[in-house]
Amino acid sequence: MTSASPHGPHSSGDTSSFGFRDVDAKEKVKMVRGVFDSVASSYDLMNDLMSGGVHRLWKDAAAAKLNPRPGETILDVAGGTGDMARRYSRMARRAQERRGGEDASVIVLDYNAEMIMAGVQKGGEPEMQWTVGDAMHLPLPDASVDAYSISFGIRNVADIAVALSEARRVLKPGGRFLCLEFSRPTTEVIRQAYDAWSFHAIPAIGQWVAHDRDSYQYLVESIRRFPDQSTFKAMIETAGFRNVSVTNLSGGVAAIHFGWAI
């Protein structure tokens, strides 16, 4: 699926978490790039296998929450192979067909060129543009997009607070922020079942399908070190977003955090 220190919600000083290890923040950027270079070709298949296809329902729920509209510029950060951007494009076009308006523009931005290339090869929608870029240094002007989304990607940045600040910077007044991410199961029963599946089955599936156990071990560990729902909500508010809400999915296995740039 597209990291946090024990001393804080994500990073501490010049270090950042890489799974259960703390590494130099700059080194983490290189290490994460290596992970996604390795898994890009099998990324979409692995998402289906790891979640039993449920990730598609989570993404549908997130896209409905974002509610793309005609004429909007939507930035999908850590957009990978374009799953969310395709949803946004189609939803905006359907709304355009009902009530008119200009074409939407959906920008897929990912740090990893291999992921972008896998998405291009998969095919896109007329509204979509593809670009390689850094969530912590977005190549867009201030107040230039109507909506910002990041799905299963914010765990992988070296500094979550910086990425959130960048999201706030590029959003227009009244713009919408959405993050879909793995989160903290809300009951002990769900937590135990999910831990058993993720720590034992997912790395094994990664070895079988992608021939890369280590990358999927990292992804599982990064989920465990990501802040829980309330902690991450507070981080979003600190970045300057208002009316931040949390919607748990599948008992908190994943969650949608949504806020407004007002």
CA 114, 35, 236 angle in degrees (round to 5)? 95
Output the six-digit token pair for 227: 């802040």
DSSP secondary structure of 44-90: HHHHHHHHTTHHHHHHHHHHHHH---TT-EEEEET-TTSHHHHHHHH
Compute the distance between CA of residue 226 and CA of residue 154 in angstroms, rounded to an integer.
9
* Residue 134 known to bind ligand: yes
| Residue 195 counted as an annotated binding residue | no
Q: Is residue 118 within 8 Å of residue 83, measured between CB atoms?
A: no
Confirm or deny that 151 is annotated as ligand binding: yes
The secondary structure of 152-217 as a DSSP string is S-GGGSS-HHHHHHHHHHHEEEEEEEEEEEE---SSHHHHHHHHHIIIIIHHHHIIIIIS-HHHHH
193 belongs to an annotated ligand binding site: no
Return the structure tokens found at 2.
Answer: 């597209």
Q: Is 110 annotated as a binding residue?
A: yes
Please state whether 4 falls in left (phi above 0), alpha (psi between -120 and 50) or beta: beta
Structure-token match 């946004």, residue found: 88
Contact 128, 82 (CB under 8 A): yes
Q: Which residues are annotated as a binding site for S-adenosyl-L-methionine?
A: 81, 110, 134-135, 151
Q: Which residues are annotated as a binding site?
A: 81, 110, 134-135, 151
